[in-house]
A and B are shown apart, each in its own frame.
Chain A
Amino acid sequence: MRTLKFLLQKEFRQIFRDPAIIRILFLMPLIQLMILPRAADYEVKNIRLSVVDHDHSDYSRQLISKVTASGYFQLDNYSNSYALGMDAVEKDKADLILEIPANFEKTLVKEDQATLFMAINAINGVKANLGGAYLRTIIQDFNQEVRMEWIQFPRFSPELKIAITSSNWYNPSMNYRLFMVPGILVVLVTMVGSFLTSLNIVKEKEIGTIEQINVTPIRKYHFILGKLIPFWVLGIVVLTLGLLLARFAYNVIPQASLLTIYVFSAVYLLAVLGLGLLLSTYTANQQQAMLLSFFIMMVFILLGGLYTSIDSMPAWAQWLTKINPVAYFVEVMRMVILKGSTLSDIKPQLAVVSAIALVLNGWAILSYKKRA
């Protein structure tokens, strides 16, 4: 016990004597949480539209003003030849071409139907998809209006119509920040846990102090606990800081008790620290540890359901996310903060993450050797 106390004292002294670490620990969450949720937004805005209008009619103008009034599009190019419109796309000055054929108005009025042509620059898949979908919706709306204007509906509509109204549960205004902030918090806690632990132990290897420690009668579990506890505490501090920021900067108020978040985080941090520990036993210097942690973090985060939905991944990738602790934490954070889940709701996730923590730490302890 006394040994452990001194190990902890030494570890904390070293951490607090490294001003860079402290700065990074406190500035990283601040910057990430202040910038990322505002920037990483799924809503696509400012889609640059190039309109090729062969009609120059009243309707074509109405359509164009309806499109630009939506706020999603900005009219960058207005011409009367498709070649000119395409030219704008090729020079990357437009994302989308809307071609209005000649006699658009005439055919629409006379024959009750007209065609429009839409060409989408699909280099940026998300933008192309969403842009096309937005435009289609706007044109449908426009269509509806035209119909209202021209067709006298009978008292009972002869066509069957299904009207859909929807409401967004748990996030009524579809506020992306509510969705992103908990996720970014997860990334932060994960980085503090795994990067700092692995780098710290590898540093002892690099400067040779581990040699001096190994020749002492210090116990393996004392040494490992002496490394895990400080970074566990730091992880909790960073989480608290992040939750406070989320509360005051984004008004993200967890729907359920904070205790649930802390209980899960406590276990989750053990898993992440175990990962850091494991990495440090397989690497010889800080560069290797850094690169390896970075690689694993990338995979974890991209397969963690933070930016892309896990449900839309192929089956094999979904299977991979089952062993990804980040995916569980992202899920739990959103469940607790948005939906108000309680401890009993997150039991399955808690069980899996506990198992991951057990495996990673056990593996790390077994592979850490006090001698070669």
Chain B
Amino acid sequence: MPAVIAENIVKRYGKKKDTVEALKGISFEAAEGELFGIIGPDGAGKTSLFRILTTLLLPDAGKATVDGLDVVKDYKEIRNRVGYMPGRFSLYQDLTVAENMEFFATIFNTSIEENYNLVKDIYSQIEPFKDRRAGKLSGGMKQKLALSCALIHRPSVLFLDEPTTGVDAVSRKEFWEMLRKLKQQGITILVSTPYMDEASLCDRVALVQSGQLLSVDTPAGVRGAFGKPLLAIRATKMLPLLDNLKKAEPVIDAYPFGEFYHAVMQPGYDEAALRNYLGQKGHEDIEIHSIEPDIEDCFMDLMKN
């Protein structure tokens, strides 16, 4: 049975005339032991979705189950079984690392010793600072503490809301490494992130935009579904190049991507003709590579259709 099932979830904010539909009917399933990514820009509805699944928010329509339990009816039991790490650091800043751990272990009716082996990898990194107040930790350490606290009761499903936002590149990498290890322990992990490069680290990803699911697939599947040739283009006079590319006949879409521009092409385009066209527009040193799309390209494509 899937660990998380969402069926047509709708959430509206505001009253009467001034309502905002944050979630417009979202449905997906996350299998047991899966590392499931929810990728989307700010304001896509990721946090609302997580708050509904963790029983903090009631959906306006639709049904969802976590670990086979209904999020509206069986919310009490769900709270025993899920771990939630909100996007904002929300542990007690005036309690020490050890006190925070002990506190969360106790309210889940367990102890640090009981589940130490689960959190060992993560907690051992911050254990040297266990008498330091949580508010005085660095960003990366705060995040490790928050993850340890969310794990201390050995949850069967772990919800991580934008855990890597505002964290440096090295810590981000470390964090994903930790998630992979947790997955091996059989914990289902739902993680949301605005960073598309992180999508390829998930087993499956759901792309969300303005409250709607654009696709749910494995990272490879998402890339495979792209179905159009993609070029990386670089030349002199980069500024007018983008405009010129957008005006070109076989180019469906063009956007900046690192030091190149990515151009989505019509199937059966003529590279020589494109090179010729750009040359006419006064660009020199034209570099054109045919490339494989990555998740970000796919997302840009899905967003525009």
List A residues at the B interface (Cβ < 8 Å).
2-3, 6-7, 10, 13-14, 17-18, 207-209, 211-218, 370-372
Contacts and interface: CB of A to CB of B under 8 A. Distances in A.
B58 interface: yes
A370 B91 CA distance: 17
Nearest to B149: A212
A218 B109 CA distance: 9
A212 B86 CA distance: 8
Interface in B110-159: 133, 149
Q: Chain B CB within 10 Å — which of A208, A209, A218 has the most?
A: A209
Contact of A207 (B56, B76, B93): B93
Nearest to A16: B94
A323 to B, nearest CB: 31
Contacts of A3: 106-107, 109
Contacts, number: 70
B248 interface: no
Contact of A372 (B56, B79, B88, B94): B56
B55 interface: yes
A209 B55 contact: no
B176 interface: no
Contacts of B75: 371
B198 interface: no
B50 to A, nearest CB: 10
A14 B92 contact: yes
Contacts of B296: none
A211 B94 contact: no
A10 B101 CA distance: 12
Interface of B: 51, 54-58, 75-76, 79-80, 82, 84, 86, 88-95, 99, 102-104, 106-109, 133, 149
Contacts of A216: 79, 104, 107-108
Contacts of B133: 17
Nearest to A10: B103
A6 B109 CA distance: 11
Contacts of A14: 92, 94-95
19 contacts: A2-B109, A3-B106, A3-B107, A3-B109, A6-B103, A10-B95, A10-B103, A17-B133, A207-B90, A211-B86, A212-B149, A214-B56, A215-B54, A215-B82, A217-B79, A371-B58, A371-B75, A372-B56, A372-B58
Contacts of A215: 54-56, 79, 82, 84
A14 B107 CA distance: 17
A139 B234 CA distance: 106
Contact of B92 (A209, A217, A370): A209
A2 B106 contact: yes
B99 A208 contact: no
Contacts of B106: 2-3, 6
B107 A6 contact: yes
Q: Chain B CB within 10 Å — which of A211, A216, A218 has the most?
A: A216
B56 A371 contact: yes
A212 B91 contact: yes
Contacts of B91: 209, 212
A143 to B, nearest CB: 71
A218 B56 contact: no
A342 B88 CA distance: 54
B200 to A, nearest CB: 29
Contacts of A2: 106, 109
A217 B108 contact: yes
Contacts of B82: 215
A61 to B, nearest CB: 72
Contact of B55 (A6, A212, A218, A371): A371
A211 B107 contact: no
Nearest to A372: B57
A13 B103 CA distance: 12
3 interchain residue pairs of minimum CB distance: A208-B90, A6-B106, A215-B84
Given A2-B106, A216-B104, A371-B58, 8 more contacts: A3-B106, A6-B106, A212-B90, A215-B54, A215-B82, A215-B84, A218-B107, A371-B75
Q: Chain A CB within 10 Å — which of B56, B75, B92 has the most?
A: B92
A13 B99 contact: yes
A207 B134 CA distance: 13
A209 B54 CA distance: 15
A216 B94 CA distance: 20
A217 B80 contact: yes
Given A215-B54, A371-B55, A372-B57, A209 B94 contact: no
Contacts of A10: 92, 95, 99, 103
Contacts of A214: 56
Nearest to B159: A215
Contacts of A17: 94, 133
A126 to B, nearest CB: 47
A39 B88 CA distance: 49
A218 B91 CA distance: 15
A207 B142 CA distance: 14
A10 B93 CA distance: 12
Given A10-B95, A217-B108, A371-B75, A209 B103 contact: no
B66 to A, nearest CB: 12
A6 B104 CA distance: 10
A348 to B, nearest CB: 42
A217 B58 contact: no
Contacts of B109: 2-3, 217
Nearest to B82: A215
Given A18-B94, A215-B56, A372-B56, A208 B88 contact: yes
A227 to B, nearest CB: 14
Contacts of B58: 371-372
Contacts of A211: 56, 86, 90
B100 to A, nearest CB: 9
A370 B75 CA distance: 11
